[in-house]
A and B are shown apart, each in its own frame.
Chain A
Amino acid sequence: MAATVSLFDDEFLKKLEYLSILSKRLFAGQLKAERRAMRRGTGLEFADYRQYVAGDDFRHLDWKAYLRLNKLILRLFEEEEDLPIYMFVDASQSMSYGNPTKFDYARRVAAALCYIGLSNLDRVNVVAYANKVKGELQPQRGKGRIFRVFRFLEEITTSGETNARESFKTYCTETRRRGLCVVISDFFDTSGFQSGLDILRHFKHDIFILHIASHEEVDPALKGELVLVDSENNVSREVTVTPSLLASYKAEYHRFCTEIESYCSKYQLGYVRTVTDFPFEELVLKVFRQGRFLK
């Protein structure tokens, strides 16, 4: 498989291992994979007492307290549960643009984050979407599952337009557990990037945005008489690219990025923007430094 060789080769795996070690060192002292949930459960850590009510597991009754107080007191323990990580990878046609393509870059970053998540015993879900959910990898846990993630990522292809709203809506109504949603996309969504993210916010997910752009988008080397063809919907448009038009485009692109950034800032979402020739391992570290990815 050529894609396997190019995307997740030995070099990539070495970098993943390095990132994994580095992430542990960087976040030593912070809470690790065993995350305590707010609700009480069957963990080992004592949390509180309460009156026994019918139906409670009497194995947790504090018999010593019963002897002393003649009351049935139930010992409560903190529930220990893993963090669901939902890795939304934009697989629309626009992601196949750039050199390297945004999609390849997104897959590498997604794979790296998944690996770190799996290493931390988090429950990792990978979702490929465009105008709908194109594919979904069932929740994985444990480092050994990384190859399933790789295989999934390798198998998905880009096509279609972006419609995050429909995709996220479909996915979130089926999946109820709240978690960390990492959205890796170029956000070229004709219905607006906000509508998709609003859905995730509605379901109370913690959201982290990875905005991927290619140099050709940020600083296009276009000139003269052109027919610009939209890769997603094949809509073409005649244009004479002049320096002033290029300047207008760049200003528009900057405004677009600022809008996303402002949105994230407004709703306290994590946001990192990158271009495809930026080393992905450095991007992953940058994500760690934001402190949102790992809790």
Chain B
Amino acid sequence: MRFLALTGLQAALLALITAGAIVALYFLKLRHRRMVIASSMLWGRVLDERQAQSLWEKLRRLISILAAVVIGLLIALAIARPEIHWLTGGGERTLLVLDTSPSMLARTSDGMTRWEHAVAAALKTVNAAAPSSEFRVADTAGRIDAAPTTDRREIREAIERMKPISGMSSFPEKDPQTVHVHFITDGVVPLAMPRGTIRESVFEEAENVAITAFEIRSTASSALAYEAYLEVHNYGKQDREVRLTIAGPGGQHIERALNLKAGGEFGGPFDLSKFEGGGIRATIQAGGDALSLDDTAFAYLPINRTAKTLLVTNGNPYLEALLRLDSLVDVTVIKPEKYQPDPSFDAYIFDGFAPANAPPRPTLFIGETPNTTWLPQTKGTLSKPRFATWSEDHPVMRYVSLHDVALERAGRIENINMQVLAESADHAPLILASEEKQRPRWVLTAFSLKNSDFPLHSGFPLFIDNALGWLSRESLALRRQPGVISVPLAQAEIKGLNGERLGSYSQGETTMFEAAEPGLYVATHEDSRQYVAVNLASAQYSNVNKTVSTKDRPAAVTAGWMEQELWFYMIGAAALLLVFEWFTYHRGITV
């Protein structure tokens, strides 16, 4: 036994003084009151008879003083916070890890979530441990990894700060001083654990229908026509009737009833051409659903508006005809000598021309351009280059095929400090894009339309449309999962769908914020704006019944019978004894 609040000597002294004081007080209490009675004749007979007959009469005083001393010692030793190793264990370090994957938010049959069960089990484990036991509390998301401490308040606070969040899950490293490792999990996200880890399960089978994918993309026919792609999975054990709703900001909505078999899925595109631009919300309703986090998904539909475009050219019938045919482009054509920087335009197209200073708006440069200080330098020409590779992932090159495009010649660009969208076989950039923070975007083709058959290919209108879209139109939302989200926009202000401002912090060229739930968020900084659609959209997290913890012991019963420190029970015992002593004293059973 050892004492946490006092040294052993202090505890012994305290016990000694307490016992001595009680005995002294007891005898003070026993100073009898003198009472003159008429005759002690009858009292004498009674007392002689009782004392002769009853052993209890002889023991009563002893028992009474013993009870008083025991009460005093219990209180005194409780103050010293004793710890008995064989009873409570203790003095050892335990790494207590809680699984914070989103599947922990699945509801169980008692109405609580797996996470609430996990927190309760963790607190139970902490409470049941000896006072001197150290706990290091950590989550699997890597957000909380508290320093080892014996302070129960700190430990509880650390546990209560944790919350399920999506993102990379990993098991914290075990330090050499750690003796025990407890992991409370539902086993949905399997993790590599140190040997000897005691895994406690909060898993319980649950019904869950989830949106596992929801995104908006432009159609192949037009970069300005959008469709939504959505996937719904039934991860439960029963067939489900699911009501799917896709709602837009202008009141437009699509509703569909789905009948999903157990383990079944639905996936398909939804035409959003009738929808106004803005936030789009997809929701599913299925009775008895255990996880609500994946029942809603968000996306952003760019607003289609006419892009005011200035074409500076000495005459390019392909380009002019194409731009005039585009209903979303309001084109103005001028000669290079008439060019004046005008920020009222949404975009510029310079055909074989480049101004001395960078234009104030995003620009598409077509053809070999004269050398300027702000554009990559052209050094020489390439003869009959062919497109070897191009980046189909870039929005400018989406659905654009450069197969069989023949070039007569192209400028040789050497400054490669920018994004190359297409290059020749000898890695000479043929199409480039710039996305510098301080300057408007621009796209540059190293070849002129006159020196190629590109205007005759089907990819040409797509390329122009994509380029204008990337330069001047709203971009699609970033897709992220709930948790800490990084937006590639420095010092941005983050707002939610309803305009509420979220806390954020800037880190380099990015802004970080935390989104606990699915939603559509917008990050703005000066003229720049970036939408972020936060959706769980994860087959791993939504499949709440796929677990590795089926054989683990349930977390709820792992705590010991002692859930409080020993002093708590000692005070309780003292109180009980006190009540007993009070009762027996007033009943005259003890003195």
Contacts and interface: CB of A to CB of B under 8 A. Distances in A.
Partners in one complex: yes
Interface of A: 94-95, 97-98, 102, 186, 188, 190, 214, 216-217, 220, 222-232, 235-245, 248-249, 252-253, 256
Contacts of B34: 226-227, 229, 236
Interface string B553-591: 000000000000000000000000000000000011101
A157 B378 CA distance: 144
B47 A237 contact: yes
B33 A217 contact: no
B40 interface: yes
Interface string B30-54: 1111111111111111110110000
Contact of A226 (B32, B42, B49, B50): B32
A212 to B, nearest CB: 11
B44 A98 contact: no
A188 B39 contact: yes
A76 to B, nearest CB: 53
Contacts of B38: 94-95, 97-98, 102, 186, 188, 214, 216-217, 231-232
Given A226-B33, A226-B35, A227-B35, A188 B41 contact: yes
Nearest to B60: A240
B37 A97 contact: yes
Contacts of B29: 225
A230 B35 CA distance: 9
Contact of A242 (B31, B37, B39, B589): B589
Contacts of B591: 225, 240
A229 B33 contact: no
A94 to B, nearest CB: 4
A157 to B, nearest CB: 16
A97 B42 CA distance: 15
Interface residues of B, number: 26
A186 to B, nearest CB: 7
Contacts of A98: 38
Interface centre among B35, B60, B591 (most CB of A within 10 A): B35
Contacts of A222: 35
Contacts of A102: 38
Given A224-B33, A238-B32, A230 B39 contact: yes
B46 A249 contact: yes
Nearest to A244: B588
Contacts of B587: 242-243
A232 B588 contact: no
A235 B42 contact: no
8 contacts: A188-B38, A216-B37, A220-B37, A223-B588, A224-B33, A229-B34, A248-B50, A249-B43
A245 B42 CA distance: 12
Contacts of A186: 38-39
Interface centre among B38, B40, B45 (most CB of A within 10 A): B38
A97 B41 CA distance: 14
Contacts of A188: 38-39, 41-42
Nearest to A97: B38
Contacts of A190: 41
A215 B50 CA distance: 24
A73 to B, nearest CB: 62
Contacts of B45: 252
Contacts of A231: 36-39
Contact of A252 (B31, B37, B46): B46
A237 B588 contact: no
Nearest to A236: B34
B39 A94 contact: yes
Nearest to B36: A229
Contacts of A238: 32
A243 B588 contact: yes
Which 8 residue pairs are nearest across A and B when measured between Cβ atoms?
A242-B588, A97-B38, A188-B39, A230-B40, A94-B38, A227-B32, A225-B32, A240-B591
Contacts of A223: 588
